[in-house]
């Protein structure tokens, strides 16, 4: 459960839906339907540990909505996973898919565990048992999992194999974010960060800031954060700070992102990277910079620290990093926030490409994947920007208007059966 005074992510997600519903004058019956997940699964995952003992983990899978297509969403392994968190993330996935107009609904999954304290064999046994418990609820036309926090292509490969063995034939479209060698898509591993970098570039144009020389700070140097940093650096930006769960590094002259990625791969953290000053995560959030990329977990920017933010643009590579009270403070300061459901939608967009390729058994080049991603992210950014201008809204409210409106229309057209 959330700490006292903290935001409950499910309550935040429902509040966002209700506010969007009021803005677009959505029918109350549709609002009621979209306020509740379609399915919630909680499963026990008995797992044999390396020392011979049995540990029973708890896992969740939530399917929020399927009116526009099968459910889609990641699976995270983290000690702080909770049912309310997974429900909120599933709702946000519904809007994320809708805002970039791909034919999915939202889902999310999680297991309460600490993967940093588990061996590879333990993770495999836990993953395969979790998959077995979900066999009747996932599938290429039902619900397609993907990687999330502390899961990766190898975890997706175990899910693919477990599901396929139960079906009796290879089913590559059951998961996305899997290794290329077994049906993954080129460009998928970089897609979330690349998509975030693309919309950041467009946001800088909106704010009349030249990306060449723009100063960028990235809080959370995992897959999404590190790729966003690398792509933005390639576009001409200067990455002045990055951080992970152990701390951060800062260099006014700019950080060599590729070398920092290698340093983290070797040491497990960016801390002590050469020719950089050490900073805390809180200090990073308050740096004087053009772009701040929160790429870690939820509730990173809150009413307690939002006033200290000096960035002109925030591009949310993480899910739910900004609380509602913090958003109001940022709006008052004139900070241009590209919300999570748009800024990090590159991952699910290329997951969609992977799903299409897997279903057809016809695979695209990396250039083709990146070109299609570029087109969808740029078009989606300007659709949201147009809605923001039309309604005099911030980008978050505009993105929710676009996304919720699309889902509500699908619900209206399909009706309620029986």
> Distance from CA of residue 81 to its chain's centroid?
15
Q: Which contacts qualify for 1-4: CB closer than 8 Å, 24 or more apart?
A: 1/82, 1/84, 2/84
d(CA 306, CA 37): 31
The two tokens of residue 297 are 């977990």
Read off the DSSP letter of residue 184. Answer: P
The two tokens of residue 46 are 């008995």
Q: 267 φ, ψ to 5°? A: -115, -15
CB neighbour burial string for 36-67, b if at least 16 within 10 angstroms, e if fewer: ebbeebebebebeeeeeeeeebebbbbbbbbb
SS3 61: strand
CB 293 within 8 A of CB 217: yes
Place of tokens 């070797």: 266
CB 147 within 8 A of CB 155: yes
CA neighbours closer than 13 Å in the CB half-sphere of residue 284: 33
Catalytic residues: 108
d(CA 137, CA 229): 36
d(CA 337, CA 330): 8
């Amino acid at each position: 459960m959330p700490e006292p005074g903290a935001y409950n992510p499910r309550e935040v997600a429902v509040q966002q839906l209700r506010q969007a519903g009021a803005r677009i004058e959505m029918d109350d019956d549709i609002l009621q339907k979209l306020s509740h997940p379609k399915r919630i699964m909680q499963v026990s995952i008995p797992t044999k540990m390396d020392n011979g003992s049995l540990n029973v983990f708890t896992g969740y899978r939530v399917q929020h909505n399927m009116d526009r297509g099968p459910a889609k969403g990641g699976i995270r392994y983290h000690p702080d996973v909770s049912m309310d968190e997974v429900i909120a993330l599933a709702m946000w996935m519904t809007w994320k898919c809708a805002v970039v107009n791909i034919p999915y609904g939202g889902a999310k999954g999680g297991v309460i565990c600490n993967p940093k304290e588990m061996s590879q064999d333990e993770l495999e046994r836990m993953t395969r048992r979790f998959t077995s418990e979900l066999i009747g609820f996932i599938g290429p036309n039902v619900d397609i999992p993907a990687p999330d926090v502390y899961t990766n292509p190898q975890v997706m490969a175990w899910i693919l194999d477990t599901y396929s063995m139960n079906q009796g034939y290879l089913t590559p479209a059951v998961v996305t974010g899997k290794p290329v060698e077994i049906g993954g898509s080129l460009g998928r591993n970089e897609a979330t960060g690349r998509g975030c970098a693309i919309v950041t570039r467009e946001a800088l144009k909106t704010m009349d800031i030249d990306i060449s020389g723009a100063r960028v700070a990235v809080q959370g140097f995992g897959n999404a954060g590190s790729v966003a940093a690398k792509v933005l650096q390639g576009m001409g930006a200067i990455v002045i700070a990055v951080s992970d769960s152990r701390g951060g590094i800062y260099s006014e002259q700019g950080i060599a992102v590729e070398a920092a990625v290698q340093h983290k791969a070797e040491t497990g953290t960016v801390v002590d990277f050469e020719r950089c000053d050490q900073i805390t995560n809180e200090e990073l959030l308050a740096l004087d910079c053009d772009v701040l990329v929160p790429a870690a977990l939820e509730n990173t920017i809150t009413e307690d620290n939002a006033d200290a933010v000096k960035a002109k643009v925030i591009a949310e590579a993480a899910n739910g990093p900004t609380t509602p009270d913090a958003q109001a403070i940022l709006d008052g300061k004139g900070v241009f926030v590209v919300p999570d459901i748009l800024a990090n939608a590159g991952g699910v967009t290329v997951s969609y490409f992977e799903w299409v390729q897997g279903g057809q058994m016809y695979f695209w080049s990396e250039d083709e994947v990146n070109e299609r991603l570029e087109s969808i992210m740029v078009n989606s950014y300007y659709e949201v920007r147009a809605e923001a201008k039309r309604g005099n809204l911030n980008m978050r409210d505009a993105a929710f208007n676009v996304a919720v409106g699309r889902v509500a229309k699908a619900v209206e057209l399909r009706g309620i059966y029986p």
